[in-house]
Structure 1
């Protein structure tokens, strides 16, 4: 799609960055942050598509989906995505890049906020508290608030600058960028599936060796030698099929997986 004259200003991107504090306000187990994500960017979307209500509805619906990333990093995603919309990029292209950044930014944001800033400031202000300084607890609180605010605004500015400059210089190659982002996203999800989806066969049988000793052979051991992590992959494919083809929601999937897990475990099929 050809680029168009931008409508949003730096003030709009700044407001969107501040609105990222609302990201957890409508968290649910169907879309996670999806509803709030749309709420964060909706004023900017309404400004972009103020003359095209049908397009506004299409873009809003496309962003009303599952999303889950670190709240402090989300301004980077929202501002880059808005820059793409504002420059006339299509919904599919913007969505591919948005989803591809979800996983990596979650890890980066958690590392900075929970394993970087929090331990740093807690160490500093805990030492001050032990020295008898009464402002230390409030000092820790203010330090965290200010540092995370700076982080959000910095991510928002970076997303805006990267989005506008990248789109202007790569307007003819944005399709390739989108395809690359999709590949990254699929790779991350595939890796997570093998690590976090737990499904193992509990069945085993006993063989008699030439020495007369009994040897217990587990089906899971044999399966791992043929194709490691096959069951987690099959479970992931089943969930994807039910979500995309049958339009199941999260609660239906949870009941199904709980039912299969309890039944198979009770029968000694899975462990």
Structure 2
């Protein structure tokens, strides 16, 4: 992608921050926040590529892919992306930044909004409500809205500042950042997958040792060979359906639901 003269103004970036509230619109299992992400930056992309309809369509479609992060720090991503698009950076570099920041900002945003601000203010204003302050819930909502809006504005400003001041330096490091983020992300996802995916066989057999009858569960036998063997097999099966058979998330959910109910009903799996 050839470099170009930037056309976006500070107002355009400010508008993109306000449009960040669209991020979770149309959230679905297929691309999560992908549709909302495109909607947040649509007018700015249209302005950047106003003279190149084909390039606009290509960039727009590329931003419909899977994305999932916390909405509060998200404006940092959108502002940085817009700055890169506006300066003519390559699409692969923009995508690398977007994906590299998704996980870290999700963790920071969740910790801030769900585990810091919400518990803090709910404790304060719940106490006030119990003491008879009838409008305490309204103040609670107002405080959360004001603070999270301030976080969005700050993150949007920082994204614009980074994108317009050190864009060249950041682009040089993008491949390394993407590789590190990918490695960490895959490691975390692999650990979470086998922890949350449960596949337990209900099969068992009876054996007699020294005159004593014992019931041996097949699942315990498999666990001794390789812990989490069945969850790993299931994960790879789903991966195969997505990558090779091009199945949608909805078809996979329906298949797993039917298989889970059927195999549990016939006594093969533990319900």
Short-chain TM bin: 0.7 to 0.9
5 Å matches for 1:156-235? Answer: 156-209=156-209, 211-235=210-234
User: 2:257 maps to which residue?
Assistant: 258
Q: CA–CA distance in 2 between the matches of 1:85 and 1:231?
A: 44
- Which range moves more in the overlay, 229-238 or 18-27? 229-238
Q: How many residues align?
A: 270
- Which range moves more in the overlay, 105-114 or 35-44? 105-114
- Which range moves more in the overlay, 239-248 or 156-165? 156-165
In the alignment, is the contact (CA less than 8 A) between 1:23 and 1:40 conserved in 2? yes
- Which range moves more in the overlay, 82-91 or 30-39? 82-91
Q: Deviations over 1:152-189 (max 9, x none)?
A: 11222233334445532243332222222322332232
- Which range moves more in the overlay, 45-54 or 101-110? 101-110
User: 1:247 maps to which residue?
Assistant: 246
TM-score, normalised to structure 1, is 0.87
TM-score, normalised to structure 2, is 0.87
- Which range moves more in the overlay, 252-261 or 20-29? 20-29
Q: CA–CA distance in 1 between the matches of 2:223 and 2:165?
A: 47
* RMSD over aligned Cα atoms: 2.4
**Alignment CA distance shift 1:258-1:130 (3 Å):** closer
Q: CA–CA distance in 1 between the matches of 2:87 and 2:181?
A: 19
Verify: 1:75 aligned to 2:75, yes or no.
Answer: yes
- The secondary structure found in structure 1 opposite 2:215 is strand
Q: CA–CA distance in 1 between the matches of 2:6 and 2:218?
A: 60
User: 1:267 maps to which residue?
Assistant: 266
User: 1:18 maps to which residue?
Assistant: 18
Verify: 1:33 aligned to 2:53, yes or no.
Answer: no
Structure 1 gap segments, 5+ residues each: none
In the alignment, is the contact (CA less than 8 A) between 1:96 and 1:179 conserved in 2? no
- Which range moves more in the overlay, 33-42 or 84-93? 84-93
In the alignment, is the contact (CA less than 8 A) between 2:97 and 2:178 conserved in 1? yes
In the alignment, is the contact (CA less than 8 A) between 1:204 and 1:219 conserved in 2? yes
Structure 2 gap segments, 5+ residues each: none
